[in-house]
Amino acid sequence: MGSDHGGYALKEHLKEVLTAKGHEIVDCGTYSTESCDYPDFGEAAARKVATGACERGIVVCTTGIGISMAANKVRGVRCALCSEPLSAEMTRRHNDANMLALGAAMTGTMLAERIVEVFLSTEFEGGRHARRVGKLDAITG
């Protein structure tokens, strides 16, 4: 998990919820509400996923936009910004997204909990979608 100051409170809330459900959390920061830069924490969390140190990642900033852009710069990361559970389900089923971005100012805690639950419990369908994910992963700058 990673967040900037705008996503700190939601990240901390989700950490508690996920830990209580038995998930192991690697917190890549930030560790306070002091102003900071979202690319630092989006990249740090994405690198954990890209290297295989973590199976999936969750990043949070005020809107979710900037931190998802930062995460998606890391090769091998497919980070989806989701604001409701159906998007979280479909990005796992069809895109094999390995990271989820949330906007703390856009998503309340109960909705964020449900989005995360769906994201973590939905499996990739494979099949024709695997070919498309392969093409996504082959795109380079």
Active-site amino acid positions: 61, 94
For residue 15, give both structure tokens: 């950490």
Query: Which burial class, exposed, middle or buried, applies to 136 when counting CB atoms under 10 A from its CB (0-12, 13-18, 19+)?
Result: exposed
Helices (H), ranges, 21-141: 38-50, 65-72, 85-95, 109-121, 128-138
Distance between CA atoms of residues 30 and 45, nearest Å:
11
End-to-end CA distance of the chain: 26
